[in-house]
Amino acid sequence: MRCLLLLSTLLFLSSCKTSTNRSKLESAYWMQEEKVTLIHFENDTFTVRTCQKSNAITESLKVRKDMREAKDLCGSFKTAVPPASLVNAITEEIMGPAPAEIVSIKGVRLAKLAAEISRLKQNISSHEDTLSSLSDDEKELIAGDSIAELKTLKSQVFAMDNERTLLDRYKNDVEMLKSIDVTTTLALQSKVATAAAEQAKIFVEMLADIRIYNLVPDRDTILISALEKFKPTCVDGMASGESRTVTEGTEKRKIQCKANGVIEIQTVGCGMAGYELMKKEGATSYCAFTGKDVQLSEMVATHDGMCGISPQGNVTCWGKVGQFPMTIDGNFVSNIGTDTQTTVIRNLGSSTNQLCSFGQNGKVRRCWPSATSPSGDNSYQSVQGGETHMCGITSAGTVSCWGK
């Protein structure tokens, strides 16, 4: 526990390793007021996850030191970063101008160091007082552990005091503060480098290591700034803040990828003509066919519903709620309407359990709910449906059938 609590030290940090049988999933994390960011190395690439800060995730990282559990709690809001891309981003951050807010960030760091040094010195004094009060026999029993403990505490104070002295000396020099930031983080690996590219490689080696690092925003500012350039994504590669309009069943939704990893539904409408959004207090809204403002030039029927074509050549369907329009595997046919938005439909053909739409050239656009469509590339003059099959007269005057 002490190892994790005192990760802000420099010399002691390099010996704060987990056992060598730990998974490569374990790498680094940092916490801010409302969010936690995890970065781990797996399958030769880095994965960055950002999620809401919670007691469960905090305990996973700080108490159980279990990055795998924290990753599962954080969820799927993530992005993949190749090592070469990460090296480039860190190199650019090191070589670029110091962050405008670095003076205030390091001012906070100075105050924290002063408080932590004071606390550690009290612990040292307490240990020394305890040792001085013991008998010779008691000292012999615990001498080894106590001396090691005191040595560790004093090395922590020494490292922190050095960092504090440097920060205090250059507290108004933004470039020196940036340099101190980089050097301090590199000390986590006990490696020294002067060239930016080499420093970046050491950073990446550290993140790919098997130990868990607690990166601290006011100590590891430059590294965290580089990592935050890689914005995590939601489903289907949606970037944080990005909005999309999607169709689910008969509903059309505008969704946004929020910074906390949640997909937020901003608006809900209906994606097919003639449907209206039904809202009932305390219940989930849904789209129902009312026929409002729908003009149809042709209609066909199946066992469970009907479909029609508008004068503009667009298709809409309606029928038994929860059963039509449906696919053969029980999912809503979400693209009956969207499928035809750029293709004018000339006519529809229907059987007891199936419908097909035909373009202006007489070729089949698609059939539903069955996945069965006619073979070949025929154009049809007319179509007739049976219970589970369709037959049509082609433009060549031949008959072609499909289905069962």
Residue 199 has pLDDT above 80, yes or no: yes
Residue 180 has pLDDT above 90, yes or no: yes
pLDDT confidence bin for 338, thresholds 50/70/90: very low
In the prediction, which pLDDT does 1 show?
Answer: 26
Q: Tens digits of per-residue pLDDT, 11-60? A: 222 223 333 333 445 678 999 888 899 888 877 888 888 888 899 999 99
In the prediction, which pLDDT does 106 show?
Answer: 95
Residue 4 has pLDDT above 60, yes or no: no
378, two tokens = 């025929």
Q: Which of 89-103, 235-249, 328-342, 377-391 has the lowest mean pLDDT?
A: 328-342
User: Amino acid identity, residue 238?
Assistant: M
353, two tokens = 């359990």
User: Amino acid identity, residue 53?
Assistant: K
Mean pLDDT across the chain: 78
- For residue 30, give the 3-state DSSP assignment: strand
Q: What is the rounded distance in angstroms from the CA atom of residue 215 to the CA atom of residue 38?
A: 10
In the prediction, which pLDDT does 230 show?
Answer: 80
Using alpha carbons, select from 270, 274, 361, 269 the residue that is nearest to residue 310: 274
Residue 334 has pLDDT above 80, yes or no: no
Q: What is the rounded distance in angstroms from the CA atom of residue 28 to the CA atom of residue 38?
A: 6
In the prediction, which pLDDT does 8 show?
Answer: 27
101, two tokens = 């807010």
157 versus 134: the higher-pLDDT residue is: 157
In the prediction, which pLDDT does 250 show?
Answer: 72
In the prediction, which pLDDT does 145 show?
Answer: 72
Among positive and negative, which fits the CA dihedral 245, 272, 370, 355? negative
37, two tokens = 């960011």
In the prediction, which pLDDT does 321 show?
Answer: 62
Q: What is the rounded distance in angstroms from the CA atom of residue 147 to the CA atom of residue 154?
A: 11
Residue 215 has pLDDT above 50, yes or no: yes
Residue 402 has pLDDT above 70, yes or no: yes
- Rounded to the nearest 5°, which phi and psi values hold at 64? -90, -15
Q: Which of 72-86, 201-215, 242-256, 324-338 has the lowest mean pLDDT?
A: 324-338
Residue 341 has pLDDT above 80, yes or no: no
The residues pairing with 79 across neighbouring beta strands, listed in sequence order, are: 48
Residue 6 has pLDDT above 90, yes or no: no
Q: What is the rounded distance in angstroms from the CA atom of residue 76 to the CA atom of residue 261?
A: 8
Q: Which helix (H) or strand (E) holds 267?
A: strand 263-270
In the prediction, which pLDDT does 21 show?
Answer: 36
In the prediction, which pLDDT does 179 show?
Answer: 93
Give the rounded percent of residues in the chain with a pLDDT score beyond 90: 19
In the prediction, which pLDDT does 296 show?
Answer: 86
Residue 63 has pLDDT above 60, yes or no: yes
Find the angle CA(343)-CA(349)-CA(353) to the nearest 5 degrees: 120
Average pLDDT for 314-321:
76
Q: Which of 33-37, 207-211, 336-340 has the lowest mean pLDDT?
A: 336-340
What's the burial of 375, exposed, middle or buried (CB within 10 Å: 0-12/13-18/19+)?
exposed
Q: How far is CA 69 from CA 25, 57, 176, in A?
A: 10, 8, 38
Q: Tens digits of per-residue pLDDT, 348-388? A: 888 777 778 888 788 887 777 664 667 777 888 888 887 77
Average pLDDT for 174-188:
91
In the prediction, which pLDDT does 77 show?
Answer: 64
Average pLDDT for 248-261:
73
396 versus 169: the higher-pLDDT residue is: 169
Residue 262 has pLDDT above 90, yes or no: no
- CATH T-level topology, domain 298-403: Methylamine Dehydrogenase; Chain H (2.130.10)
266 versus 310: the higher-pLDDT residue is: 310
In the prediction, which pLDDT does 373 show?
Answer: 67
pTM value surpassing 0.75: no
Q: What is the rounded distance in angstroms from the CA atom of residue 308 to the CA atom of residue 322?
A: 19
Domains of the chain, by residue range, sit at 2-227, 235-289, 298-403
